[in-house]
Structure 1
Amino acid sequence: MSGQRHGAAAPDDAVITGLGVAAATGLGTEEHWNATVKGASGIGPIRRHDASGYPCRLAGEVPGFDPADHLSGRLLPQTDRMTQLALAASDWALADAGLDPATLDEYGMGVVTASASGGFEFAQKELQSLWSKGPRHVTAYQSFAWFYAVNSGQISIRHGLRGPSGVLVTGQAGGLDALAHARRQLRAGASAMLTGGMEAPLSPWGLVSQLTSGRLSTRDEPGRAYVPFDSAACGHVPGEGGALLVMERAEAARARGARVLGTFAGYCATFDPAPETGRPPGLRRAIQGALDDAGTEPDAIDVVFADAAGVRALDTAEAEALEAVFGGRPVPVTAPKTMTGRLASGGAALDVASALLAMRDAVVPPTLHVTTPAADAPAGLVRDTARPMPVRSALIVARGHGGFNAAAVLRAAG
Structure 2
Amino acid sequence: MTARAVVTGIGVVAPSGVGAEAHWATVLAGTRRTGPITLFDPAGYPTRVGGEVPDFDPAGHVDTRQRVQTDRWTHLGFAATRLALADAGLPEVSPDPYRWAVTLASSSGGNLFGQRELQRLWGGPSRTVGAYQSIAWFYAASVGQLSIRHQFKGPSGVTVSESAGGLDSLAHAVRTVRRGTPVVIAGATECPLSPYALACQLRSGLLSDVADPERAYRPFDADACGYVPAEGGAVFVVEELGHALARGARVYGEITGWAATHDGAPTDVEAGPDPTHYARALRLALDRAGVRAHDVDVIWPDALGVPAYDRAEATALRTVFGTHTPPVTTQKPLTGRAHQGGSALDAATALLAFRHDLLPASAGPQRPAPGCELTFLREQRRPRSRIALVGARGFDGFNSALVLRGAAPPPAGEARG
TM interval, short-chain normalised: over 0.9
- SS in structure 1 at match of 2:332: helix
Say which is worse superposed, 27-36 or 68-77, in terms of deviation. 68-77
Which of 218, 223, 228 is matched with 1:232 structurally? 223
The equivalent residue for 1:322 is: 317
C-alpha deviation, 1:413, in angstroms: 1.7
Q: Does structure 1 conserve the Cα–Cα contact (< 8 Å) formed by 2:267 and 2:396?
A: no
RMSD, matched Cα:
1.8
C-alpha deviation, 1:363, in angstroms: 1.9
The equivalent residue for 2:340 is: 345
Which whole-Å CA distance do the structure 2 matches of 1:270 and 1:351 have between them? 19
Matched to 1:117, the amino acid is S
The equivalent residue for 1:304 is: 299
The equivalent residue for 1:190 is: 181
The equivalent residue for 1:122 is: 113
Say which is worse superposed, 14-23 or 45-54, in terms of deviation. 45-54
C-alpha deviation, 1:388, in angstroms: 4.2
Which whole-Å CA distance do the structure 2 matches of 1:83 and 1:275 have between them? 30
| Residues 391, 238 of structure 1: alpha-carbon distance in 2 compared, 3 angstrom cutoff | farther
Q: Does structure 2 conserve the Cα–Cα contact (< 8 Å) formed by 1:230 and 1:373?
A: yes
Matched to 2:23, the amino acid is H
C-alpha deviation, 1:257, in angstroms: 1.2
Which whole-Å CA distance do the structure 1 matches of 2:267 and 2:106 have between them? 29
Which whole-Å CA distance do the structure 1 matches of 2:176 and 2:183 have between them? 9
Which whole-Å CA distance do the structure 1 matches of 2:68 and 2:90 have between them? 29
After superposing on structure 2, the runs of 4+ consecutive aligned residues of structure 1 that deviate more than 6 Å are: 276-279
Which of 373, 380, 396 is matched with 1:402 structurally? 396
Fraction of identical pairs, as percent: 50
Which whole-Å CA distance do the structure 2 matches of 1:379 and 1:201 have between them? 30
Which whole-Å CA distance do the structure 1 matches of 2:335 and 2:134 have between them? 30
Q: Does structure 2 conserve the Cα–Cα contact (< 8 Å) formed by 1:173 and 1:348?
A: yes
Show CA shifts across 1:108-146 (max 9, x none): 000000011100000000001111236664111111100
Say which is worse superposed, 35-44 or 270-279, in terms of deviation. 270-279
- Give me the TM-score of the superposition, normalised by structure 1: 0.94
C-alpha deviation, 1:49, in angstroms: 1.6
Matched to 1:396, the amino acid is V
Matched to 1:92, the amino acid is L
The equivalent residue for 1:69 is: 60
| Residues 56, 257 of structure 1: alpha-carbon distance in 2 compared, 3 angstrom cutoff | same
The answer on 1:281 being equivalent to 2:276 is yes
C-alpha deviation, 1:329, in angstroms: 2.5
Which whole-Å CA distance do the structure 2 matches of 1:173 and 1:396 have between them? 10
Gaps of 5+ in 2: 409-417
The answer on 1:354 being equivalent to 2:349 is yes
C-alpha deviation, 1:11, in angstroms: 6.7
Which of 359, 368, 382 is matched with 1:364 structurally? 359
C-alpha deviation, 1:378, in angstroms: 4.0
Gaps of 5+ in 1: 1-9
Matched to 1:370, the amino acid is P
Which whole-Å CA distance do the structure 2 matches of 1:168 and 1:220 have between them? 33
Matched to 1:31, the amino acid is A
Which whole-Å CA distance do the structure 2 matches of 1:65 and 1:275 have between them? 37
Show CA shifts across 1:56-101 (max 9, x none): 0100111010111222111111110000010011100000001126
Which whole-Å CA distance do the structure 2 matches of 1:276 and 1:397 have between them? 18
Q: Does structure 1 conserve the Cα–Cα contact (< 8 Å) formed by 2:354 and 2:383?
A: no
The equivalent residue for 2:406 is: 412
| Residues 104, 390 of structure 1: alpha-carbon distance in 2 compared, 3 angstrom cutoff | farther
Say which is worse superposed, 283-292 or 67-76, in terms of deviation. 67-76
Show CA shifts across 1:334-354 (max 9, x none): 111111111111011111100
Q: Does structure 1 conserve the Cα–Cα contact (< 8 Å) formed by 2:317 and 2:325?
A: no
Q: Where do 1:201-216 residues align within 5 Å?
A: 201-216=192-207
- Give me the TM-score of the superposition, normalised by structure 2: 0.93
Which of 281, 284, 291 is matched with 2:286 structurally? 291
Q: Does structure 2 conserve the Cα–Cα contact (< 8 Å) formed by 1:333 and 1:378?
A: no
Q: Does structure 1 conserve the Cα–Cα contact (< 8 Å) formed by 2:93 and 2:149?
A: no
